[in-house]
Structure 1
């Protein structure tokens, strides 16, 4: 039987189902305003026709009330706004659930990029040996971060999961109940979550999704590629930032870090206990039953932390499972052999740690902590640092730190910063003792600029808790364009330092380097941020190979393209032989977690795509090195784009526009994350204080998506004006890396809708600035279409385009209400005696409207 095209499968299983269940949903009574479900389609139609006619949001809203609800007073109108917002938020959830339920039907789970596809391709090309060799070495790590870009509280995520399951079987009674539950469940939090709350929310995904999807992937590889032999390499693993990421988050304390690590251990033990329970029902044989019961009791004692009862080590647990499997094979005809192997594999993947907890802090904070530590050590009479240390030359300081000896044990520190770093480093040691070294063995230095940044941490780790052996990897994170430019020089200084090189030798000569993260796009614009990372990787690969160090690149990929994200498997498949690719590591955050990894099917599919992106390059050798001519064109495009973006960023109206015309200041009121919404304490808006999430999110709410395309059009136009566009076309044809950048930028352009804010073109203060953005959008769209030969954006991804269009259609009334409320606030604030109560009401409307708009963008990753 032939498989229908993906778009047809999407239309039948997602779009049609959404229309059916949405009609049921619209009839559910949520509250006293019974007509809301009837009025929403009318308001939606008014919005569509209004924008087509060139009307602004205020005119559209006023037209709707005049035509359909003329008798409503102002308070009644406000009430309706909140009811409409409530409905639209839940329409987004319904669509999410339907997409999740249909994932395995819409996406071919055995198609291109899946493990089955790789296996068959390798067999057909007689490259099975190469495939095995690659899988014995490759590691893919996804790192779940504490950066929320999605507004669903845990209760709503639970409903989405249950709704998806009910939709798979078209269980109308259950669907009806869940939709009603959805209507009565709040979508907003009364207070900000703690870092521990964030960790608990993500641990849900570990227990309910990754435990099963990772297990299935590993089982498949073992059974089908390694003929049931045990594999030493774990291939896939998970990193974890909530509870460990202190960068800009004063609420992450050493106590929180320890608490999260214990929660991770308890969570994985709970999953093991559940699997042991299943095995005990099956393995009822002589010589197995009682031994399995005893093993279960040991794991349970460990879970309950019964110190007065016998507990179990990870090694003992694994050895016992292997012994039981051997008995089953030799004495019981291998009955349930695969089920035992599956649990052994999970123990191999997750240990007693479940996910590796990373610690992260900003280099500037470390510098302050380090100086305070040195001063307190000297004042205490300790000989760890010489009395004149801080007055020595930079070179002398670096040499001293690299070969530092001694310990700060016994010193009572008073400075709050020093106590924090000392207790944090001691917490790492404690976690390694309790959960295993892999449970917490990386410390990331964000905003890393110099060799000194690394050596300060290197020394602090050694003198505080790791005097005998440093079992922690120091990971510098180079973020800005300037930092990326000098990254290879920083690393060469470290590689040539005898003491640091000795440390790397003890760590299997591996050095992990993190690059980019979302501040890169905010700092340098879309093209330059991505190209600067690519070039930095080439230089770092070259210098690392020179000193015989295996460099591992850890990518801060963000979520949407505007934050460094996009189609991640395409990104990795596009890297050529000049960039080391033995391991793939990337951050997964916000809506990317729920959209790409939120179900066992989507998690398995997207992890397989990531594994295959490296495998196919290696066994097919399809990635050609970028030619000198193409590199020159890429350099020029990035330089022009960068200059265009920096000029735009430096425009005198840039910050005032964001502050007064966007939703930027409302992000702080949403209570979605534990971190403060900006870095500095200044009451004025400072660009460097802006966090990437509210920065990118504000452009998204305006439907302008500036960070995902600004400068691209100007760069392409330079070649077009000079009659040299053929050079860019050649680059697009030859370089899969450039094609990936263009395709991700197309997604940002596709989700822009300038009709929403066209009224700003007439604004006395911001009209000219709005037109600058709009012209760049038009130029980027026109020349990207010329470059690709497409008639419309995302022509090559009709299913992704269709999903975006439906989501954008759902939230169009929400966006209209948001813009209406923003304009009302502006009008009221012009009054010499503004009505503060009215302003507060409209500000609440703006804040509430953020939720559905951002949640609807889940397919931006």
Structure 2
């Protein structure tokens, strides 16, 4: 039977099912639900028709009440709007669950970009041995970050998972119960989570998704590509930031870091115990059963921290499993060997650490910590640093920093900053001793600008805990456009520093460099942020090859295109031979975790796509370097786009527009993350203090998505105006990298809806500013369609386009309510007598409407 087209599969298995289950949801016997359900479709139609007539949200809401609910009191109207918000949030959850359930039907789990496809293509091209060679050296690391851009509490995530499972088998009784549970479960949190809470929430994915999906991928590679032979490479692993990422988060303490590492170890041991219990039921043979029972007891003792002699180390655990497997092969006709091999593979992937905990802090904070540390050492008579250290020339400081040795002991620190860095670095060493080196062996310096930033940390790691045997890597993070341009000179100074070079040799001549992150797009605009990273990678690759260093690029991909993300596998498949590609490392955060890795199917599929994109990049001889003339065009586009974006940021209304016309200040009230919503302590709004999540999120709530497209249209128009548009078209045809950028920008444009805020065009203060944004949107859309030859945006991504369309239609009433509430607040704040109670109610309405809008943007990654 022929397979239906992908869009048809989506319409049948997602859209149709959503409509059916949404109708069931509407019949639930809750007191206030029936009226809400009856009125919401009428409100949706009023919104849709109103925006088509270019009406403003206030007029639309007033028209609805006048037409359908004229007798309602003002308080009753407000209550109804809150009930609409609650119901729409749950519709988004239902759609998520339906989409999750249909994932393996809509997506071809053995098609292009999967491991099966990779294997078969390699066989057809007689490149199986080459594929094995690459897979033994290649790695993918996804790093789960502590940056929540999604508002689902743990209880709701559990409902989505269970609902998806029930929908897969059309279990109507279970679906009915779960929809009832969904209707009663609160979506918002009364207080902010702690960093430990955030870690526990993400460990749920480790236990319930990654343990199974990553294990399954490894099993497949071993069985089908390596013919059941051992692979000398873990291939895939997980990094973890909650509990380790201190950047701008004063609530992450050394004790939190230790607690998270302990929780990670406990969680993986519980997974192993579960698998060992299964083996205990199957391996009932003489000489094996007793050993399995013993492993089970010793794992429990390790979990409960019993006396050391009764525990089992990772090395002992693995040795026992290998011995048992050999006995099964030699004496028991290989019965259940595959189950034992699967568990061995899990220990290869996850050890006793489960995920590698990264530490991260800002270079400016490190500088303050370092100065506090040195001053205390000098005051205590410690001679690690000379008394005049800070008066020395920079070159002398760098030399001293790289050459310090020995571990400081018996110094009682009093300065809070000195104590913090000392305890943090000692915590890293403690975690390595308890969970293995890989459990915590990277320290990332965000906002890294200079060689001094790196060597300050390098020196502190050595003298505080590690001594000359430094089993940790210093990872500079170059974020802004300026820092990216300076990165090669910083790294060359490090590569030519004899002591640092010796450290790299001890670490296998490998240097990890983190590039970009969501602040890059916020700082330099969409094209420049991405092109700046690409050019930095090229320069750093060339430099590292010159010094025989294997450079590993760690990408801060930030979720949606506006935060440096987008379609990740397309991005990696497009890099070409001038960028080192032995390993892919990237951050996964917010809704990207649940949308791309939230179920075993989606996690397996998207991880295979990542592995395949990295490997096929090496197997594919056609993936050629971008030509000189194309690079010139790309340079010019990025430069024009950057200038346009920077001038836009300098607009006198830029910050006040965000502050007064968007939801920016409401992000701090949502209680979704443990971090403060801005970096500095300044009273007023300062651009440098803005975090990327509320910055990008505020544009998204306005349905303007500025960071994902602003400047692109102006850059393309430069070539159109000069009659040289064919140069950009040639770049688009020849460069997979540029095509990936344009595809991501199209997604940002697709999620824009300027009719929502069209009323702002007539605002006496912000009308001209709104028109500036809208003009750039129209220019970008028109020229991207001209460039691609499409009649409409995303016409080559019909399923993603359809998914976005459904989600946008679900939240249209929510967006309308949000804008209505924002307008009400503005009016109330201008009134002669402020009604604080009413302002509070409408502020709550804005905050509550943030939730569903963000959750509905799940497919942004």
TM normalised by structure 1 equals 1.00
Residues 773-812 of structure 1: matches in 2 within 5 Å? 773-812=773-812
What's the counterpart of residue 408 of structure 2? 408
Contact 2:511–2:550 (8 Å) recurs in 1: yes
Contact 1:573–1:614 (8 Å) recurs in 2: yes
CA deviation after TM superposition for structure 1 residue 617, in Å:
1.6
What's the counterpart of residue 364 of structure 2? 364
Match of 2:643, SS state, is helix
Structure 1, unaligned runs of 5 or more: none
What's the counterpart of residue 115 of structure 2? 115
What's the counterpart of residue 284 of structure 2? 284
CA separation of 1:229/1:654 partners in 2, compared to 1, >3 Å: closer, same or farther?
Answer: same
What's the counterpart of residue 644 of structure 1? 644
| In structure 2, C-alpha distance between the alignment counterparts of 1:553 and 1:3, rounded to whole Å | 39
Contact 1:114–1:605 (8 Å) recurs in 2: yes
CA deviation after TM superposition for structure 1 residue 53, in Å:
1.3
| In structure 1, C-alpha distance between the alignment counterparts of 2:542 and 2:288, rounded to whole Å | 54
Question: Does residue 1:435 correspond to 2:431, yes or no?
Answer: no
CA deviation after TM superposition for structure 1 residue 33, in Å:
5.6
| In structure 1, C-alpha distance between the alignment counterparts of 2:564 and 2:142, rounded to whole Å | 15
What's the counterpart of residue 46 of structure 2? 46
Contact 2:163–2:175 (8 Å) recurs in 1: yes
Question: Does residue 1:159 correspond to 2:178, yes or no?
Answer: no
What's the counterpart of residue 718 of structure 1? 718
| In structure 2, C-alpha distance between the alignment counterparts of 1:35 and 1:786, rounded to whole Å | 47
Contact 1:275–1:343 (8 Å) recurs in 2: yes
What's the counterpart of residue 312 of structure 1? 312
Residue deviations 1:95-154 (CA, integer Å, cap 9, x gap): 000000000000000000000000000001111011000000000000000000000000
| In structure 2, C-alpha distance between the alignment counterparts of 1:33 and 1:357, rounded to whole Å | 45
Match of 1:140, SS state, is strand
What's the counterpart of residue 563 of structure 1? 563
Contact 1:360–1:443 (8 Å) recurs in 2: yes
CA deviation after TM superposition for structure 1 residue 32, in Å:
3.6
Residue deviations 1:304-362 (CA, integer Å, cap 9, x gap): 11126511111110010000000011110000000000000000000000000000000
Match of 1:465, SS state, is helix
| In structure 2, C-alpha distance between the alignment counterparts of 1:106 and 1:407, rounded to whole Å | 57
Residue deviations 1:266-298 (CA, integer Å, cap 9, x gap): 000000000000111111111110111011111
Contact 1:425–1:465 (8 Å) recurs in 2: yes
Residues 603-622 of structure 1: matches in 2 within 5 Å? 603-622=603-622
What's the counterpart of residue 845 of structure 2? 845
Q: Which runs of 4+ in 1 moved over 6 A?
A: none
What's the counterpart of residue 485 of structure 2? 485
Question: Does residue 1:327 correspond to 2:327, yes or no?
Answer: yes
What value does the CA root-mean-square deviation take over the aligned residues? 0.7
What's the counterpart of residue 92 of structure 1? 92
> Which piece of structure 1 moves more, 561-570 or 403-412?
403-412
Match of 1:677, SS state, is coil
| In structure 1, C-alpha distance between the alignment counterparts of 2:438 and 2:310, rounded to whole Å | 24
Question: Does residue 1:466 correspond to 2:499, yes or no?
Answer: no
CA deviation after TM superposition for structure 1 residue 30, in Å:
3.6
What's the counterpart of residue 425 of structure 1? 425
What's the counterpart of residue 132 of structure 2? 132
Question: Does residue 1:66 correspond to 2:78, yes or no?
Answer: no
Match of 1:551, SS state, is strand
What's the counterpart of residue 185 of structure 2? 185
CA deviation after TM superposition for structure 1 residue 17, in Å:
0.1
Match of 2:67, SS state, is helix
What's the counterpart of residue 83 of structure 2? 83
Contact 1:301–1:309 (8 Å) recurs in 2: no
Residue deviations 1:29-84 (CA, integer Å, cap 9, x gap): 44446301111111011111111111111111011111111110100001001100
What's the counterpart of residue 214 of structure 2? 214
Match of 1:100, SS state, is helix
| In structure 1, C-alpha distance between the alignment counterparts of 2:567 and 2:717, rounded to whole Å | 25
Residue deviations 1:657-688 (CA, integer Å, cap 9, x gap): 00000000000000000000000111100000
Residue deviations 1:583-639 (CA, integer Å, cap 9, x gap): 000000000000000000000000000000011121122211001100000000000
| In structure 2, C-alpha distance between the alignment counterparts of 1:188 and 1:315, rounded to whole Å | 44
Contact 2:406–2:468 (8 Å) recurs in 1: no
What's the counterpart of residue 575 of structure 1? 575
What's the counterpart of residue 345 of structure 1? 345
TM normalised by structure 2 equals 1.00
What's the counterpart of residue 693 of structure 2? 693
What's the counterpart of residue 704 of structure 1? 704
Contact 2:26–2:34 (8 Å) recurs in 1: no
| In structure 1, C-alpha distance between the alignment counterparts of 2:552 and 2:402, rounded to whole Å | 22
| In structure 1, C-alpha distance between the alignment counterparts of 2:12 and 2:108, rounded to whole Å | 15
Contact 1:633–1:728 (8 Å) recurs in 2: yes
What's the counterpart of residue 11 of structure 2? 11
Residues 438-449 of structure 1: matches in 2 within 5 Å? 438-449=438-449
Contact 2:405–2:468 (8 Å) recurs in 1: no
Structure 2, unaligned runs of 5 or more: none
CA deviation after TM superposition for structure 1 residue 91, in Å:
0.1
What's the counterpart of residue 223 of structure 2? 223
Contact 1:30–1:184 (8 Å) recurs in 2: no
| In structure 2, C-alpha distance between the alignment counterparts of 1:471 and 1:532, rounded to whole Å | 31
Contact 2:143–2:238 (8 Å) recurs in 1: yes
What's the counterpart of residue 546 of structure 1? 546
Question: Does residue 1:821 correspond to 2:825, yes or no?
Answer: no
Match of 1:3, SS state, is coil
| In structure 1, C-alpha distance between the alignment counterparts of 2:34 and 2:719, rounded to whole Å | 58
Contact 1:576–1:625 (8 Å) recurs in 2: yes
| In structure 2, C-alpha distance between the alignment counterparts of 1:325 and 1:574, rounded to whole Å | 42
The number of residue pairs the alignment matches comes to 861
Residue deviations 1:189-215 (CA, integer Å, cap 9, x gap): 000000000000000000000000000
| In structure 2, C-alpha distance between the alignment counterparts of 1:301 and 1:678, rounded to whole Å | 44
CA deviation after TM superposition for structure 1 residue 747, in Å:
0.0
What's the counterpart of residue 765 of structure 1? 765
CA deviation after TM superposition for structure 1 residue 383, in Å:
0.9
> Which piece of structure 1 moves more, 405-414 or 542-551?
405-414
| In structure 2, C-alpha distance between the alignment counterparts of 1:396 and 1:764, rounded to whole Å | 58
